[in-house]
């Protein structure tokens, strides 16, 4: 038996006997707040054992901290990465769980040591659960189907969860049809400038249920509500709606643009600059949806926010970018550029004519 096995053998015995409190006391140095000196020869394994003890006592936050310390000593530890993923699942953080479970699966296929073959299915099953918790039912079903060995422990649970995911997916598809009807009505009201009806249509109980329960394009719904409030000049409510839209999809160019416009009209030019710059940033992303908005609209709004902050030189530089005479905003940009240039001239005090024309009395 080598030195490492000799040091950890009694800890393995405590873990096997489910004496988790004794295991935690044996590993932790309470004065120093870390591992006891004799266990530092293999920090990866020691922190993993500690995390396992915390996990089995339902202290998932402490377990997560221990597992993270474990992979700091060895980043390709498949079991520690898997344990981090399951801890995040227990803490209701499915996106982080997905990230670490995918890492665990990646390193499973290039291990440094022996891994039991069935462990792959444990990773896939938990990864599918993390996608299920994110309401990505189609992706989850595809992974549950990978758990196809009847002899493994998670097989029956995978079948059960797959059935639930398929039922949820059908419900989502039905709700998608309902939401399309709601959105088409709201779009019609928006084109006809019936703003109160847009808000009433999208804020009813049925639409809220579709958005919260099935995540049916909350981004688009809140953007339409924001536009209705904006056109009614109810700017504070418009800002709240656009913020909710952006929470559903951070890269929504139109929501970011109108958020900037709302803050400009409220006189909050620093905030409007921030959102116009974000809109311009996402405008150049390859997956941007085609729409009637051009980059010149965003540049014009950004220049106006800089003008409001009295940053005249920066504003002038942006107004110069609007160089297409066919644009609707071209003349307004020229006008605002002239205003910025006039305000940017150095101030010269005017001499009162009373003193200038007064005859000298010697």
The 10s digit of each residue's pLDDT in 164-180 is 999 888 877 766 666 66
- Quick one: tokens of 319? 């107004």
pLDDT at 170: 82
Measured on CA atoms in the order 250, 252, 253, 255, is the torsion positive or negative?
negative
Among the listed residues 349, 332, 339, the one whose alpha carbon sits nearest the alpha carbon of residue 312: 339
CATH number of 3-115, picked from 3.20.20.140, 1.25.40.10, 1.20.210.10, 1.10.10.10: 1.25.40.10
Q: Which of 173, 63, 82 is nearest to 122 (CA)?
A: 82
- Nearest one of 61, 78, 63 to 24, comparing CA atoms: 63
Domain parsing of the chain, residue ranges: 3-115
Distance of alpha carbon 120 from alpha carbon 65, whole angstroms: 24
- Asked whether residue 153 carries a pLDDT value surpassing 50, the answer given is yes
Average pLDDT for 106-134: 83
Phi-psi region of 193 (alpha: psi -120 to 50; beta: other; left: phi over 0): left
Task: Kindly report which listed range (51-65, 199-213, 253-267, 303-317) carries the lowest average pLDDT score.
Answer: 199-213
Read off the pLDDT band of 290 (50, 70, 90): very low
Q: What is the pTM of this model?
A: 0.57
Distance CA 164, CA 171 (A): 11
pLDDT in the model for residue 1: 45
Average of per-residue pLDDT across 50-70: 92
What's the distance, CA 12 to chain centroid?
40
pLDDT, tens digit, for every residue of 295-306?
A: 889 999 999 999
**120 has a pLDDT exceeding 70:** yes
To the nearest whole number, what is the mean pLDDT of the chain?
83
What is the 3-class SS of 269-315, one letter each residue?
Answer: HHHHHHHHHHHHHHHCCCCCCCCCCCHHHHHHHHHHHHHHCCCHHHH
Distances (CA, A) of 47 to 28, 122, 146: 10, 21, 31
């Amino acid at each position: 038996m080598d030195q490492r096995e000799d040091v950890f053998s009694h800890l393995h015995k405590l873990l096997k006997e489910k004496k988790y409190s004794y295991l935690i006391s044996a590993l932790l140095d309470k004065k120093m707040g870390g591992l006891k000196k004799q266990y530092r020869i293999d920090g990866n394994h020691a922190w993993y054992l500690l995390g396992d003890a915390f996990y089995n006592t339902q202290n998932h936050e402490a377990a997560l901290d221990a597992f993270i310390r474990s992979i700091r000593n060895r980043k390709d530890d498949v079991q520690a990465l898997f344990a981090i993923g399951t801890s995040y699942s227990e803490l209701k953080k499915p996106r982080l769980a997905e990230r670490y479970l995918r890492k665990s699966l990646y390193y499973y296929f290039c291990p440094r040591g022996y891994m039991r073959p069935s462990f792959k299915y444990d990773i896939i099953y938990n990864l599918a659960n993390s996608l299920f918790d994110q309401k990505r039912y189609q992706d989850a079903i595809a992974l549950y189907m990978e758990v196809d060995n009847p002899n493994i422990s998670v097989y029956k649970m995978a079948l059960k969860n797959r059935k639930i995911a398929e039922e949820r997916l059908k419900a989502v598809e039905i709700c998608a049809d309902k939401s399309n009807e709601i959105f088409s009505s709201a779009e019609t009201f928006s084109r006809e400038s019936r703003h109160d009806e847009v808000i009433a249509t999208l804020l009813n109980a049925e639409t809220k249920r579709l958005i919260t329960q099935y995540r049916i394009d909350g981004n688009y719904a809140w953007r339409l509500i924001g536009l209705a409030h904006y056109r009614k000049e109810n700017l504070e409510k418009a800002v709240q709606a656009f913020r909710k839209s952006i929470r559903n999809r951070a890269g929504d160019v139109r929501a970011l643009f109108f958020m900037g416009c709302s803050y400009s009209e409220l006189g909050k030019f620093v905030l409007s600059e921030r959102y116009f710059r974000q809109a311009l940033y996402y405008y150049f992303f390859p997956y941007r949806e085609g729409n009637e908005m051009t980059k010149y609209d965003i540049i014009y709004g950004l220049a106006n926010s800089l003008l409001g902050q009295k940053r005249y030189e920066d504003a002038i530089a942006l107004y110069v970018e609007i160089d297409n005479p066919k644009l609707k905003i071209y003349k307004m940009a020229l006008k605002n550029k002239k205003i910025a240039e006039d305000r940017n001239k150095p101030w010269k005090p005017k001499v009162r004519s009373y003193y200038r024309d007064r005859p000298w009395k010697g």
